[in-house]
Amino acid sequence: MSGTVADQPIRVLVADDTRIHTQLLADALRRDGGLEVITSDSDSQGLVERDILSNIDVLVLSSTLDEEPRMGFKILRSIRAIHPSLKAIMLIDSSKREMVLEAFRAGARGVLCRNESTDRLSKSVRGVHQGQIWANSQQMAIAIEGLATGREVQAVDAGGLNLLSKRETEVVRCLAQGFTNREIAEKLGLSQHTVKNYLFRVFDKLGVSSRVELLFMTLSHETSSESGFRNFLKNCVELTLHDDASFAACQRSAEQGFPIAQLIMAQVYLTRKASPSDLSRAYTWCLVLVDSLSRTTQTVSQQMNMDQLLEAETIARELMRKPAEVRKIPSRTDGDASYVRQPRPALSAD
């Protein structure tokens, strides 16, 4: 087979459940002359720490590692915390719903059952390298069904962010404020490598597979200030704009109906504008966002009486007359749950 368009081989790292299986899989892939195959002889933790991962195009990883089922999912989350743009294919024992969904949630771009041919594995590597999502029709149906159920981004434990240690929480707060790994390291007096280690432990504890998912989870906890929220949005847009995995995570959340994700998708396309269709997509997400907010507005309004509706509409009209930077929702009184009315501003002569 021929190589890539640039005649450069696709660099593939293979890590199966045993050394023998890893070597057999690697030998099978080497029959494709366009692939440069490297094996991992270390244990799962050693795989996470391998520097060579930064130069790998596609990682082929077994869901069973160190003779422990599902360890591969945990390892993939850890790897993607350090190398978020690395494309991975997960080898699974069966196409059971939980296995397929867990593979994609861990950050895999493709899933493949062990009983499939090595020729199909080679094709999956090439497909994922080209930006495709690789799955058979049954697995794709499972993924779409999982998306349609509207799974919220949340911690795997009811304790949520309370699962994190003090230092892990500090790292997450810095991330939510828009700091890079280097800036987090400088602020907390850590090395960048230590920051990466903290991040992949956070990913594993909270069951997320990307920085964007982590940012969504921390939104209500870490962005109470105006500057914090603006940094949150800016950081989400930057991550989504420049990282394929973050883009996919944000798009999934937007498609599931999260308004904040829909806003970010609109901003990403508006910022990028790499082609005429980007502007159209930005507008599309704006329309979707308006529809989401319209439905929320309708749901809330149905729970209000006429006096509450009139008061809310009056306040909203007053706010919309003001410049965006000076808008402020009236505060609540100590003894009454109703909003304090502010004097109506004088109408402009313009």
> What confidence score (pLDDT) does residue 3 get?
43
Q: Which residues pair with 65 in a beta bridge?
A: 68
What is the third-level CATH fold of 160-300? Answer: Arc Repressor Mutant, subunit A (1.10.10)
What is the DSSP secondary structure assignment for residue 73, as one 8-state letter?
A: H
Let me know: does 238 contact 271? Beta carbons within 8 Å.
no
Let me know: does 106 contact 73? Beta carbons within 8 Å.
yes
> What confidence score (pLDDT) does residue 337 get?
38
> What confidence score (pLDDT) does residue 150 get?
44
> What confidence score (pLDDT) does residue 66 get?
82
pLDDT in tens, 113-142: 988 887 889 999 999 998 888 988 888 878
Let me know: does 57 contact 126? Beta carbons within 8 Å.
no
Q: How far apart are CA 40 and CA 38, in angstroms?
A: 7
Q: How far apart are CA 44 and CA 149, in angstroms?
A: 32
Break the chain down into helix, strand, coil percent, rounded to 5.
60, 10, 35
CATH 1.10.10.10 in the chain, residue ranges: 160-300
CATH 3.40.50.2300 in the chain, residue ranges: 10-148
pTM for the whole structure: 0.47
Q: How far apart are CA 131 and CA 134, in angstroms?
A: 9
In CATH terms, the superfamily for domain 10-148 is Response regulator (3.40.50.2300)
> What confidence score (pLDDT) does residue 298 get?
80
Q: Residue 256 is which amino acid?
A: Q
Task: For the chain, 350 residues long, give each residue's pLDDT as a single digit of tens.
Answer: 444 445 689 999 999 988 888 898 899 999 998 999 999 866 777 788 777 888 899 999 999 988 888 889 888 888 887 788 889 999 998 888 888 888 888 889 999 998 888 788 999 999 999 888 898 888 887 877 766 554 443 433 434 566 778 888 888 878 776 677 888 899 899 998 888 888 888 877 776 666 666 766 665 444 444 455 566 567 677 767 777 777 887 788 788 887 878 888 888 888 888 888 888 888 898 888 888 888 778 888 888 888 888 888 888 778 777 665 555 555 444 343 333 334 333 333 33
Do the bridges between strand 35-39 and strand 58-62 make them parallel or antiparallel, or are there none, so unpaired?
unpaired
